[in-house]
Structure 1
Amino acid sequence: MLLKPVLVGIGGGIISRIADSFRQKNIDFEGISSRKQDKYWLLDLTNPSEFDYDLITDDHLIVLAAAISSPDKCQKEYTLARQVNVEGTVEFAQRCLDRGARVLFFSSDTVYGPSQPGEAPFIEDVTLQPLGEYAQMKAEAEALLLPLGEVKVIRLSYVFWRDDKFTKYLTQCALTNQAAEIFDPFDRCIVYIEDVKAAVERYCDAWSDIYDKVINVGSSIPVSRWQFATMFKNLVYPNLMLTKVEPKEDFFRARPRLISMDTQRLTRLLGRQPTTVEQAIAREFSGEDQV
């Protein structure tokens, strides 16, 4: 790889999966964690000035995924969340850029706000209308980071792998013969973790050849949670029982019901179409004993 990845937020599910993939491929990387661990560098985004920036060099790609990502926590603990998601993130990135590193910032599809049924998918250049505190923080961080120079942004939809929160819930329901309660409608351009890994590798290999400053990272067609759960039932656990429920009134105050994104830039980045949700489920659970 032309750039050595530095994975920030290595305790999180997405970054830990990327780290596992790098280990399997013998790709050299560094990890940064908010918890003190012998093999990783320590970073507290509430106090980024304490980080040892002498560790950062001009051949590093800072994969900046650390965040308080729960919309509910961002709402209830706003000051702390903003300190981490905006102030600390921007200061840390700026200091790394000063050392000659590049920064790949993990943002969110929620910065677009809600899609309306029948409207065209969001392209990366539209005016953002973030819904909820988490989305507002991500949009603000983007706006502060992008003018700083060697910064690029990926706007992630919900990332699927076998141990993501929703999939683990469905699996547990299937194994315990409990009906899974599914919010509906609730639609996102769900992206397979393998596509996220491939995207990060492309940035490491071809940073200077990627001219798009912002890229949507998701599948090409929105899929509702109900549709996902039905596919999961059909492909993995035929015994899974499903029931539709209406979430509490405040659930969608911080979460759009529907986000539809254009993925042409991602297709160009990967050199192929994004993995469909059905393909992703089949691949992730291939060889799984059905019950």
Structure 2
Amino acid sequence: MGLWIPFTIFAAFMQSWRNAFQNKLSKEVSTAGVTLARFLYASPLAALYLWILYQVEPVALPTVSANYLVTITLASVSQIIATALMVKLFRLRNYAMGVGLAKSEAVIAATLGALFFAAPLSGLAWSGVIIGAIAIWLMSNTGSLKDLSLKTLALGLGSGLAFALTTLWVREASLMLGLPFPYSAAWVLLYVIATQTAILLTWLLIKEPATLKALWQRPKLTLTISVFSCLGSLGWFTAMSLETVALVKTLGQIEVLFTLFISARWFKEKLIPRDLSGLALIVLGAACVILA
């Protein structure tokens, strides 16, 4: 079994809980504040992880180029946009549906990766991506096509596109450093989180200082979101340093399994029979990707 597989499953599990806590915070704090909560306390954790790696086995420090900095900045901004759009989704539809629509990122990442990032897929891998996309659509669209709000669809696809670009740029940045596993992913993680924190803190200090106070008044929830976010990103970034984004994100759709469990047990949201069909398809799609 490839090492990227357990890292992906770990990332999906952490991300499902992070989304759940973000959903809870979104009922009390603005979109920008919920987005910042994802990164606010994550930088020290990312720095600690990197320090531990160098204590275990010191390697060379990375050489940072202008191209690398541009790529990191693009990834950071793209993930901020993706998270903000997903938080808006939480307010339009229920928790499971919002995450389901945002998971369109897997098929978008596969398409963009093949077209622009020199990451072609085999026929079996494409089958897994397409099956996964069908599963997500089945589970997120609970009514007829005419009942699906254009605003909801646009936010979902926009979030998926932004997440897909984030992951593609993260993998590019990781490959640019040329460091051994898992050091390149650890450096990218720290750079991305630090950049995102700086951008959002500056924005909120200027535009929404009251939101910073609101986060300060909710330290436990904010810290919890940051911790789960950092752990999830650690898993994603490490997996993507080992395997193409499309395969990682398609397998990562098992996050929906965790999400549905949280949705039913914690948020008490009612699940419908078609969810079982969707889950079966996600398992089938993941199996195709693993076998590919």
TM-score range, shorter chain: under 0.3
Q: Judging by fraction of residues, say which structure has more strand.
A: 1
| TM-score (normalizing by structure 1) | 0.26
Q: Judging by fraction of residues, say which structure has more helix.
A: 2
Ranked by relative contact order (alpha carbons within 8 Å, sequence separation 6 or more), the top structure is: 2
| TM-score (normalizing by structure 2) | 0.26
